[in-house]
Amino acid sequence: MAFRAPFRTMATAARSSLRVGLIPADGIGKEVIPAAKQALEAVSADLPKLEFYDLIAGWECFTRTGVALPEETIETLKDGCDAALFGAVSSPSRKVVGYSSPIVQMRKQLDLYANIRPVRASNVDMIVVRENTECLYIKQETLVVGEHGKEARATRLITEHASRRIGQMAFELALSRPRKQVTIIHKSNVLSVTDGLFRETVRGVPKLAGVNGRYDGVTIAEQIVDSAVYRLFREPEIYDVMVAPNLYGDIISDAAAALVGSLGLVPSVNAGDSFVMGEPVHGSAPDIEGKGIANPLASIRSAALMLRHLGYAGPADRIDNAVDAVVREGQVMTPDLGGKNSTNDVVAEVLKRV
């Protein structure tokens, strides 16, 4: 397979407009996505004309219509949008006939194969790069009654194709960073076939046809997933870019969020080669829904990260710097960060600094 640069490295084509789909979905998504929209509007002078499309998806959508991800939403994203922002989804913990998580569906239908989650704090500066399309998340499960009662089985899928392109994304991200290190997270000492394929494929990325020494300056490290979590809390400074299969990446990125004090601070993007969707890492938080105290910073940072992957680094920096200033000063904070302020209070503080 020849080298193919991931989406984030492509030059942004001249646009007369920047069309962004807004999908608040469930819970506090309806409170934080409007905050992200305001942040984008605050830097609109440095962007093409912004056009927003209000779209629906999620568990609440399913309970009203019987569909978690309407065709109209997908068609608008595919044919009418350059990027999107997604809030949160309240998927039930039990099986519900006809329901499937809309964010998982969108990742598949838009081929958003990489979930990219930067985590920064005083002694932490890392990016978790999570493969987004396979592993156990293909949701092929069976339940049968065997000799000793019920037996539940799940199929895990790891392919060379998906492992290669998530590896490329990780190496490209490492190139843009001072340390230039990629750590491959796996459990191939036990899962020698599936994790073994992931590990070897990612290690082989620098040897792809057409790379021509592109990644010569990138150091490759490895870590078994359980010890990776241990070291994440003991010595997080050892990590730069971590790349992992879907399940491990999901767990590690949420664990890494604890290092910065709150999931409400951690952004992400779901990226492919031609589309990017910002998504705050936190969930739908039904316990605080409607109280006006949801932390909007992860959503605002996700909007900045979305802009950065589209090639608009200047406006992205303005948003990130404003958020950094609010966090550093610590005077206006939502309750998850020990403060007493509302969502709107925090948004206003960010916008003043943008």
What are the tens digits of pLDDT across the range 247-281?
A: 999 999 888 988 887 788 999 999 999 999 999 98
Active-site position among 82, 187, 215, 320: 187
The residues near 94 (Cβ < 8 Å, ≥ 6 apart) are: none
Query: Chain-wide mean pLDDT for the chain?
Result: 93
Burial environment of residue 290 by CB neighbours within 10 A (0 to 12, 13 to 18, 19 or more): exposed
User: Which domains are assigned to the chain?
Assistant: 15-112+272-354 (3.40.718.10), 120-260 (3.40.718.10)
User: CA 184, 190, 194 angle in degrees (round to 5)?
Assistant: 60
Q: Is 250 a catalytic residue?
A: yes
The span from the CA of 352 to the CA of 152, in Å, is 53
Contacts 24+ apart (CB under 8 A), 316-323: 318/42, 318/43, 318/46, 318/354, 319/39, 319/42, 319/43, 319/350, 319/354, 321/353, 322/350, 322/351, 322/352, 322/353, 322/354, 323/297, 323/350
* Choice among 32-41, 202-211, 214-223, 235-244 with the minimum mean pLDDT: 202-211
Q: Is 26 a catalytic residue?
A: no
The span from the CA of 204 to the CA of 200, in Å, is 6
Q: Which residues pair with 128 in a beta bridge?
A: 117, 242
- pLDDT-derived band at 226 (thresholds 50, 70, 90) equals very high
Active-site position among 111, 125, 254, 317: 254
The residues near 281 (Cβ < 8 Å, ≥ 6 apart) are: 117, 253, 254, 257, 263, 266, 267, 268, 298
Span 182-201, pLDDT tens digits: 999 999 999 999 999 999 99
* Whether 202 contacts 166, CB under 8 Å: yes
SS3 content of the chain, % helix, strand, coil (to 5): 45, 20, 35
- pLDDT-derived band at 1 (thresholds 50, 70, 90) equals very low
Span 199-224, pLDDT tens digits: 999 999 999 978 889 999 999 999 99
Q: What average pLDDT does range 214-242 have in this prediction?
A: 96
The residues near 207 (Cβ < 8 Å, ≥ 6 apart) are: none
Active-site position among 113, 137, 215, 248: 137
Active-site position among 250, 312, 320, 336: 250
Q: Is 187 a catalytic residue?
A: yes
So what's the pLDDT on residue 89?
A: 95
Query: Is 121 a residue whose pLDDT tops 90?
Result: no
So what's the pLDDT on residue 254?
A: 86
Active-site position among 54, 226, 230, 352: 226
Residue with structure tokens 């962004």?
Answer: 20
Full-model pTM: 0.90
